[in-house]
Amino acid sequence: MAKFNRLMNNMRQSLVDLDRAIDGFIVMSDVLDKMYVSLQNGKVPANWEKVAYPSLKPLATWFQDMRQRVAVIHDWLTNG
């Protein structure tokens, strides 16, 4: 669960940072620029891959898989 919490926190913060960079509130770093290009091309950004589980899936199916994995863990924790 700790791995998924770290991944989701990384995703959340990097998406907030990317939104702020696009709006011009912060400087678009190289990491954010590469993330932006990856998202446009339907690929999992490298900064997410560093903290995620290994996968060769494109972004859309990777995200669905990640949500299902988190749901299974959540159900297991809440239902015993």
The contacts of residue 27 (CB under 8 Å, 6+ apart) are: 21
Q: And the tokens for 32?
A: 């954010």
- pTM value surpassing 0.75: yes
pLDDT digits (tens, 9 = 90+) for 10-19: 999 999 999 9
The DSSP code sequence of 11-41 is HHHHHHHHHHHHTTSS---HHHHHHHHHHHT
| pLDDT digit string, tens, across residues 25-77 | 999 999 999 999 999 999 999 999 999 999 999 999 999 999 999 999 999 98
Cβ pair 6, 48 in contact under 8 A: no
Q: Which domains does the chain have, with CATH numbers?
A: 2-79 (1.20.1270)
| pLDDT band at residue 1 under the 50/70/90 scheme | confident
Query: Residue 30's pLDDT is what?
Result: 97
* Backbone dihedral region for residue 58 (phi beyond 0: left; psi -120 to 50: alpha; all else: beta): beta
